Chain A
Amino acid sequence: AQSVTQLDSQVPVFEEAPVELRCNYSSSVSVYLFWYVQYPNQGLQLLLKYLSGSTLVKGINGFEAEFNKSQTSFHLRKPSVHISDTAEYFCAVSKSGGYNKLIFGAGTRLAVHP
């Protein structure tokens, strides 16, 4: 079975500062890795995904993530955040070659302050 741990439930940061949201996963099989963002009263939007190949993945809105197989991590980073980045961020995995079933972490609430 797969599981996802997001190490921080809340991350406060000042505008224009860098941020890292941490995600670790556990799986006995190959997985695909995703980061989704949820704004208030909305569904989830995909930021980026790792399927294979280069371990550094770039996504939308200036976000990037690095896959580290030995550490089973997939941390999300942004060099300079904006107020509009305030949202809930979810790390998720799906089993390679399996179903369209996402296993989500508990989420990290990013709060960007002016």
Chain B
Amino acid sequence: KAGVTQTPRYLIKTRGQQVTLSCSPISGHRSVSWYQQTPGQGLQFLFEYFSETQRNKGNFPGRFSGRQFSNSRSEMNVSTLELGDSALYLCASSPRKGGRYEQYFGPGTRLTVT
């Protein structure tokens, strides 16, 4: 089975622009979660989608949004980019909801905001 894929792997944007990151989960997985990883704040939960519905959202401003499509692929969008949004964005998929199942992580998208 193919693993979680994320595109693009690297991205450079300018402050004030917006960006869309894509995540394709493992086939059959219906839950997709997003995390932000920075040296200062570590790994922080952004949001979780299950069957096209956002189930939970972390403590991030409204500039961060996401969606999930009927084939479970997910996108996250960051509008009005700030320098502090530079981070590794990780997507993880899981077969079910409930917190007890392994989350399979993709390699991440490295976003640099200049």
* With A43-B90, A44-B90, A95-B99 as contacts: A101 and B45 at CB distance below 8 Å: yes
With A43-B105, A51-B100: A99-B43 Cβ-Cβ less than 8 Å: no
Q: Is B74 an interface residue (CB 8 A)?
A: no
The residues of B with any CB-CB pair to A shorter than 8 Å are: 4, 31, 33, 35, 42-45, 48, 50, 55-56, 58, 90, 92, 94, 97-108
Closest to B93 in A: A100
Bound-state CA distance A94–B48 (Å) is: 13
By a beta-carbon cutoff of 8 Å, the part of chain A in contact with chain B is 32, 34, 36, 41-46, 49, 51, 90, 92, 94-107
Distance (whole angstroms) from the CB of B107 to the closest CB of chain A? 5
| Bound Cα distance from A43 to B3, whole angstroms | 11
- Given A99-B55, A100-B33, A100-B94, A43-B99 contact (CB < 8 Å): no
Q: Which residues of B are found within 8 Å of A34, using beta-carbon distances?
A: 102
Given the known A-B contacts A90-B43, A95-B99, A96-B99, are A101 and B107 also in contact in the complex, defined by CB atoms under 8 Å?
no
Beyond the given pairs A100-B55, A100-B94, A102-B103, 18 more chain A to chain B contacts, judged by CB atoms under 8 angstroms and listed by A's residue number, are A32-B99, A42-B107, A44-B90, A94-B100, A97-B99, A98-B99, A99-B55, A100-B50, A101-B33, A101-B45, A102-B35, A102-B45, A104-B42, A104-B43, A105-B42, A106-B42, A107-B42, A107-B43
